[in-house]
Amino acid sequence: MLNWGGVWALFVKEVRRFYSVAVQTIFAPVVATLLYLLVFGQVIDSQLDVFSGLAYSQFLIPGLVMMAILQNAFSNSSSSLIQSKMHGNLTFVLLSPISPLEFYLAFTAAAVVRGLAVGLGILIVGAVGFDLSWQAPQWILLFAVLSAAMMGGLGMLAGIVSDKYDHLAAFQNFIIMPLTFLSGVFYSIKALPDFWQQLSHFNPFFYMVDGFRYGFFEKSDVSIWLSLMVTLLFLVLVSVINLILLNKGVKIRE
């Protein structure tokens, strides 16, 4: 039986950790992402045609929201874990009566909260300034939560295998950042040459962005069910890998 009290206590600790520096962890990413909207949405709004009857700025906002959710969910769990490892306070968490599953749930849930907080901030500003529709809000919420959970788990995985901040920075700069920017945030993959279209289908982040965007316009580059299946598959895969590493204590009990 899960120790829900322990999960809640660790979850609250993690939320308080990023909330204590909210200017850095929430407001700064919101402002940074809105700059993309200002530059791309305003400058080339009338020069690109993505989905029929849809302005480019409207197409762009859901992609930017999802990009922010993915990056900040990853950043929350990865930075928290590497800081705990480097500063030595992870030992106190490991000594508490919390199982690897409970540890994983708490960290992932906190990552979801931060990702959604940043995404909501961008969405509010975008909805106020642009005519944004909400055709299927259930898909918006589902993909937002599942994608944030997957990235929170991926961030934990990066934090586990990294020995120092440089390793984590390499993981984020050479894996997370490219996959995020090449996931269809700024464009529809149907505008790409055939080779790059096919290559985009091997990027799991593409399915998260595409499924999330479907919730706004009920238009997407691939089937919404395929996007959901891929997102769930990667969430399960990342969760299983994390739980195996946590049970074995790889690089956290050494």
Span 173-208, pLDDT tens digits: 999 999 998 998 988 888 888 998 999 999 999 999
Per-residue tokens: 77: 């769990």
Report, as an integer, the average pLDDT of 105-129.
93
Residue 2 in this model has a pLDDT that exceeds 90: no
Closest listed residue to residue 181, CA positions, set 73, 71, 96: 71
Neighbours of 169 (CB within 10 A): 13
Closest listed residue to residue 72, CA positions, set 33, 39, 34, 36: 33
**What is the value of pTM for the model shown?**
0.93
Distance CA 72, CA 69 (A): 5
Report, as an integer, the average pLDDT of 13-38.
92
Give the model's confidence band at 131: pLDDT under 50 very low, under 70 low, under 90 confident, else very high: confident
Per-residue tokens: 191: 């505008």
What pLDDT is stored for residue 49 in this prediction? 61
Residue 190's φ and ψ, nearest 5 degrees, are -70, -15
Q: Are 176 and 254 in contact (CB under 8 A)?
A: no
Query: Hey, which of 83-92, 157-166, 233-242 has the most confident mean pLDDT?
Result: 233-242
What pLDDT is stored for residue 254 in this prediction? 60
What pLDDT is stored for residue 41 in this prediction? 65
Closest listed residue to residue 180, CA positions, set 29, 53, 43: 29
